Structure 1
Amino acid sequence: MGDAATPLADTRRWLERAVIGLNLCPFAKSVHVKGQVHYALSEAQDAQEVLEDFTRELEALVALPAPERDTTLLVIPRGMEDFLGFNDLVARAERIVRKRRLEGVIQVASFHPRFVFAGEAEDDVTNYSNRAPYPTLHLLREESMDRAVAAFPDAAAIYEVNMETLRRLGLEGWTALDVGPHA
């Protein structure tokens, strides 16, 4: 693998070109523009070490005010290649949030390069709404999400809009975004 900055640069490129560029998350642009997205790299290669990094990032996020750091993307370039194993890691991260009594304060979202919606073919373009260049744990402040959702006319429609956007784009269009790993 290239230098440690590469996975973070790839993740930033994915956020800018895919998530914001395609408006897959209408809430992402404002925190990105304000510099409130923190990118963290986990150099861990097993679940327990990743969870230690997750816990550190969780504590760091809640210790700072939202205007300084609203959200964290913990990028995991090694050791979590298996999608189902990563799903287990996500469940364990959510348990950490609950054990720290941060449920309702912090929410965990996840992205994986091999994400597949239940019932969809692995190569279905709609899966790319949840694919990032590397396995990624996204720590979000619930309060910020609540405000963003309240300001959005029909937050429930985001999923359907994303599926239609990706279908129109197609796999060739997604590939042209150049948001994959650049090791």
Structure 2
Amino acid sequence: MSEESVVQATRNWVEDVVVGYNLCPFAKRELVRDRVRFVVTAADNEDSLLQALQTELLRLDDEPETETTLLIHPHVLQNFADYNEFLDAADGLLAYLDMEGVYQIASFHPDYQFADTSPDAAENYTNRSPFPMLHLLREASLEAAIDSHPDVDGIPPRNIELMNKLGVEKMREVVFACHQNSPEAGE
């Protein structure tokens, strides 16, 4: 799959799932303003992914016009357990770069599974994406968005309720459709 197709499938997912279902009430504004950077890394091992993560964190530091970055890594950490373990290394990199409190890393994966849920629980689709990715967020912007939201604590339970209402089959179809509407889908 080409880089263009990976980006388009991810963009479709952000537009159709994250924004379309209002899973993150803060996402639409930055997407409309074109302040979301979609980047695909060719990393095929954890070390090269950490290097790509460092590059993107430093880039965010240098580019205040970019609000957030989705670092998509389709060639590494396909297994969710391995991905989940890698998040500790990603947080360790934030500490090493002295960027704790400046940036935060949110996690999305095709097989995302919250603790104490079954693999087939619909609520996992709040964090299930077409490809494994790391979402790099500016902590100050996140805090400002949270402070301005009337019911930030209500977001997760509302999302869980919505996913359970829509169901696993519907959400599988929606995420699958994100791939179908990318450039190589017709090939």
Q: Deviations over 1:24-68 (max 9, x none)?
A: 000101110100000011111100001100100000001111xx1
**Structure 2 residue 90 is the aligned partner of structure 1 residue 58:** no
**Structure 2 residue 81 is the aligned partner of structure 1 residue 84:** yes
Q: CA RMSD in A?
A: 1.3
Counterpart residue number, 1:135? 132
Q: Distance in 2 between matches of 1:85 and 1:44?
A: 15
**Structure 2 residue 32 is the aligned partner of structure 1 residue 44:** no
8 Å CA contact 1:39–1:75 kept in 2: the answer is: yes
Q: What runs of 5+ residues in structure 1 fail to find an aligned partner?
A: none
Counterpart residue number, 1:153? 150
Q: Distance in 2 between matches of 1:180 and 1:23?
A: 20
Percent of paired sites with the same residue: 36
After TM superposition, give the deviation of residue 119 of structure 1 in Å: 1.6
After TM superposition, give the deviation of residue 180 of structure 1 in Å: 4.8
Q: Secondary structure at the match of 2:25?
A: coil
So what's the TM-score if we normalise by structure 2? 0.92
After TM superposition, give the deviation of residue 172 of structure 1 in Å: 2.9
Q: Deviations over 1:150-176 (max 9, x none)?
A: 110111111000001111111232234
Counterpart residue number, 1:102? 99
**Structure 2 residue 75 is the aligned partner of structure 1 residue 74:** no
Counterpart residue number, 1:27? 26
Counterpart residue number, 1:14? 13
So what's the TM-score if we normalise by structure 1? 0.94
Q: Distance in 1 between matches of 2:81 and 2:172?
A: 24
After TM superposition, give the deviation of residue 128 of structure 1 in Å: 0.5
Q: Distance in 2 between matches of 1:147 and 1:115?
A: 27
Q: Distance in 1 between matches of 2:151 and 2:179?
A: 30
After TM superposition, give the deviation of residue 17 of structure 1 in Å: 0.3
Q: What runs of 5+ residues in structure 2 fail to find an aligned partner?
A: none
Q: Secondary structure at the match of 1:174?
A: helix
Q: Distance in 1 between matches of 2:13 and 2:135?
A: 14
